[in-house]
Amino acid sequence: MEPATVTSPPPLPTVGVPREAPYMDIDHIRARCSSGISVDAGWRPLLITLDAALTKADPELRYIQISQKYGRLLVYTTSTNEEARLLIHRAEELASRTCEMCSDLGASLCQRGSWLRTLCPRCAAEQHYMAVQRD
């Protein structure tokens, strides 16, 4: 018997998303999330893409929590599926370069007081955040 192999999951998008991102509906994701979703509109397109890929990888998957903490996307699920885990990791990595507010790529970790967010230069300036080095 040969050992099981995990196929590489399809890549998540690596280009900017439409400006209508704040209006993208995520109720279908929220309905499967026990603790709610706490991220800004700029990450909604990423969540929609991730959810579609996760649904294919593990149709029974439920979300425990989707949130932003210290400028990072955190996605907790009930899945033990390896492909789902890899997809979540890719989405979290992509979010670290995607503006939480407008979805633009090229975002970086920014700070205002004790608050950390992932923002593009324009949104950082509008919100009075300064870019900082990510650990």
Q: pLDDT tens digit string along 9-33?
A: 555 544 444 445 445 678 888 888 8
Amino acid at 14: T
SS3 content of the chain, % helix, strand, coil (to 5): 35, 20, 45
56-104, pLDDT tens digit by residue?
999 999 999 999 999 999 999 999 999 999 999 999 999 999 999 999 9
State how far the Cα of 117 lies from the Cα of 108, in Å rounded to an integer: 8
